[in-house]
Amino acid sequence: MKTEPIALRIDVDTLRGTRDGVPALLKLFDEEKIKASFFFSVGPDNMGRHLWRLLKPTFLLKMLRTKAASLYGWDIIFKGTFWPGPLIGKNFGDIIKKSDASGHETCLHTWDHHYWQSKIDSLSPQMIYDEIERGFTALEKITGKPPVSSAVPGWKCTEQVLLEKEKFSFKYNSDCRANMIFLPQVQGKTLTTPQIPVNLPTYDEVLGKNGITNENYNNHMLSLLKPGVMNVLTIHAEAEGISCLGMFREFVRQAREKGFDFATLGDVLDATQKPLPSASIKLEEIPGREGWVTTA
Ligand SMILES: [Zn+2]
């Protein structure tokens, strides 16, 4: 029987997701004979840092008012103020290596997830390049080869980000939410690196809305899978790899019963008819997510 592919992307945002979520998913994929695309965060885990800011709003306001950050850079200001977030790749490179050796695609999510999500609006082209380059180099050091592709945190990608990414010769990028694989058009030029957008919602986007609970979540997701079109799903090592692991295992089995199967994003790209259409990206709001995300 011919199966319909679901391109499976795993975002790994934190130390905990890398340490606990990735090994659990690797075991599941091994048992179920699935190959998927892992997008790793390799720099400091600063995801808890915003909690500290909530506790000390006056400090943050003062920083903004004095523009101290733009004068000196956050690194210098926070040195000695915080313990730096632990480096994920340095601490758990062996897990990333194991994932790579198991035949999954090793791809770059980000150097510093929190920094990207909160600062992308104000980063210069050079800062964007440097942030990607740090993650790229760290992953390359761990696996001994360049990461296959990249995906920005929080679907926060601008035309400038696309231009900077073009310098890295990724096989593809996965930075936006849309319903077709395409070549991005920026400033009248068509870029050469395809975009594989995500078109299925994530767990945190749908849970608790429109009557969706853990009890009917899988049925809801199964109802969104469509044969004959692109299906790209993002799961998180922090959710589907830990607290939602049993539920996700059940989803895998039920999706297969419906005639779908799982593949890496790269494999889905290889099987997609060429030439690819071109499109420009847009920044807009989507249900379930705060602020803007990139669409096409
Ligand atoms: Zn992420």
Write out pLDDT tens, residues 32-72.
999 999 999 999 988 766 555 555 555 566 666 655 555 55
Q: pLDDT band at 76, cuts 50/70/90?
A: very low
Distance 260 CA to ligand 1 centre (A): 25
Residues with CB under 5 A from ligand 1 (ion): 11, 13, 153
Distance 2 CA to ligand 1 centre (A): 32
- Count, residues in the chain: 296
| Sequence-distant (≥ 6) Cβ neighbours of residue 171 within 8 angstroms | 148, 149, 193, 266, 269
pLDDT at 106 over 50: yes
More confident call, 48 vs 194: 194
Distance 154 CA to ligand 1 centre (A): 6
Q: Is 191 left (phi over 0), alpha (psi -120 to 50) or beta?
A: beta
Distance 1 CA to ligand 1 centre (A): 35
pLDDT at 6 over 70: yes
Cα–Cα nearest to 239, from 289, 214, 263, 203: 203
Q: What's the CA gap between 246 and 91, in Å, rounded?
A: 27
Distance 225 CA to ligand 1 centre (A): 22
Distance 153 CA to ligand 1 centre (A): 4
What's the predicted TM-score (pTM) here?
A: 0.89
Cα–Cα nearest to 96, from 108, 79, 78: 108
Domains plus CATH for the chain?
4-46+85-295 (3.20.20.370)
